[in-house]
Amino acid sequence: MEYKISATEAFNKYSDMVYRLAFARVKNKYDADDILQEVFLRFIKQKNKLNNEEHTKALLIRITINCTKSMFTSGHYKKTQALDETLSVTMPERDTLDAVLRLPIKYRTVIHLHYYCGYKSEEIAEILQTKPSTVKSQLHRARKLLKLSLEGVEFDV
């Protein structure tokens, strides 16, 4: 039972996931568009080593993070654009998103992976190839900062 996934299949399944993570990191749609393309082109090179869906997701997340990283270091990174005003969200939802996007990049990455993608800290650590203790302390500090900016926020941990 060999696992195989084509880049187009992966794109149809996971392009939203990649796009949202990219957005959470670069905070604007223009760069997220570029990253979306870059991620899946890189994915073609590496997809043959994959064993299952979870692997695929993890690899895509890792590539997305690497791609966004090089955006920051290459000087390509421009000042953050304001969030698209046409988003059809409620005020509390909007505030929440803004608060997350104001976090330092490391923190909003782990917050996104935990609360949006539903990964546990250990899984995040594996994906990011870091230590679970690092992820846990980042989550902890991120929640602390979010509590400050969103008064009385409740976390369903």
Partner 1 sequence: MFEKNYKNAMDNIKADAFVKESVLSKLEAAEEKAERRNPAVIWRVGTALAACVAIVLGVIFIPNNSVKVNAESLTAADSYNEIYKIFEAQNKSSFFDNLLGGLGKDEVYEYYYEYSDTEDAGDTATGTITESSNTSGLKGSQPEGSVNMEESEDAQNEYSETTEQVAGVSEADIVKTDGKNIYYIENNVLNILSAEGKASSLLSKTVITGEYDVMCNEMFLKGNHIIILKTDVYETSGNKTSVVIYDISNPKNPVKVAESCQEGYYTSSRMIGDYIYLISNCPINIKNIDKKDPSTFVPTIECKDEETTVPADSIYRYDDEITTNRYTVIAAYNYKDGTLSGTASLLGGTDQLYCSTENIILANTRYNSKEYDEYEDHIESYTVVSRLAIKDGKLEYKTTGQVDGTLENQFFIDEHKGYFRFVTTVTETKYVTQKFENSDNEFVSATNDTSARLTVLDGELKKIGEIKDLAKGERVYSVRFMGDTAYFVTFRQTDPLFSADLADPKNPKILGELKIPGFSEYMYPYNDGKLLGFGMEADEKTGRTSFLKLSMFNILDPANVTEEDKTVINGYYYSPALNSHKAMMVNIGRNLIGFAATDYDNIKYMLYNYTGEGFENLASIDIEAYYEGSVRGLFVKDGFYIITDTQLKVLDINSFEVLLTLEY
- Binds partner 1 by CB under 8 A, chosen from 58, 59, 71, 100: 100
Report in angstroms the alpha-carbon separations of 29 from 48, 80, 81.
30, 10, 9
Q: Shortest gap between Cβ of 61 and partner 1 (angstroms)?
A: 15
Q: Is 15 in the site for partner 1 (CB under 8 A)?
A: yes
Q: Shortest gap between Cβ of 60 and partner 1 (angstroms)?
A: 13
Dist CA 61 CA 14 (whole Å)? 10
Q: Spell out, one character per residue from 111 to 150, where the chain touches partner 1: x when CB under 8 A holds, - when not.
A: xx--xx---x-x--------xxxx-xxx--x--x-x---x
Q: Is 8 in the site for partner 1 (CB under 8 A)?
A: yes
How many amino acids of this chain bind partner 1 (CB under 8 A)? 62
Q: Is 5 in the site for partner 1 (CB under 8 A)?
A: no
Q: Shortest gap between Cβ of 53 and partner 1 (angstroms)?
A: 14
Dist CA 59 CA 146 (whole Å)? 28
Dist CA 55 CA 133 (whole Å)? 22
Q: For residue 118, how many other CB atoms are within 10 A of its CB?
A: 8
Interface ranges with partner 1 (CB under 8 A):
6-8, 11, 15-16, 19-20, 23-24, 29, 32-33, 36-37, 40-42, 44-45, 51, 70, 73-75, 87-90, 92-97, 100, 102, 104-107, 111-112, 115-116, 120, 122, 131-134, 136-138, 141, 144, 146, 150, 153-156
